[in-house]
Amino acid sequence: MTGGRLTTHVLDTALGKPAAGVKIVLYRVSGNSHRKIAETVTNADGRTDAPMLAGKDFTVGSYELVFFAGDYLRASGQSAGEVLFLDQIPIRFGVPDAGQHYHVPLLISPFAYSTYRGS
């Protein structure tokens, strides 16, 4: 694959396994404007079947991944009710070099999450 790409995965740290079935939406951010550019759901390995964005479509700028963790936490029996402590988790990040691989994973539990730039 030429050029850069954006990938992600979701791990359930409370259950110690990949988080399957998590909806993820990717937005391009410019000022106060969000433009939806991709949507997917994690597979059985907690990963997406393809990069969220790649090649000529992956450009320098600001992006936001929104992970629909609440739906997953409810479905896995870890959270219940209308209002959850963690529901939709937005991660906004910048891409200064579109020729690189940016991996932005999410580690979740019902009451905490973390992320990092992976490889």
Please state the three-class secondary structure of 24-64 as a single string: EEEEEEECCEEEEEEEEECCCCCECCCCCEEHHHCCCEEEE
Q: Is residue 119 part of a domain?
A: no
Query: Look-up: residue for tokens 């399957």?
Result: 20
CA distance 92 to 83: 23
Strand partners, 111: none
Q: What is the pLDDT of residues 78-110, one digit of tens each?
A: 988 888 999 999 999 999 999 999 999 999 999
- pTM here is 0.94
Provide the residue range defining the domain that includes 34.
Answer: 5-109
Q: Is residue 66 part of a domain?
A: yes
Q: Is residue 118 part of a domain?
A: no
CATH number, domain of 48, equals 2.60.40.180
CB-based contacts of 90: which residues, under 8 Å, 6+ apart?
64, 65, 66, 67
Specify the amino acid at residue 21: G
Judge contact between 76 and 69, C-beta under 8 A: no
Q: Is residue 60 part of a domain?
A: yes
In the chain, which residues have pLDDT < 50?
1
Judge contact between 48 and 23, C-beta under 8 A: no
Q: What is the pLDDT of residue 79?
A: 85
Q: Is residue 20 part of a domain?
A: yes
Q: Is residue 115 part of a domain?
A: no
Q: What is the pLDDT of residue 109?
A: 95
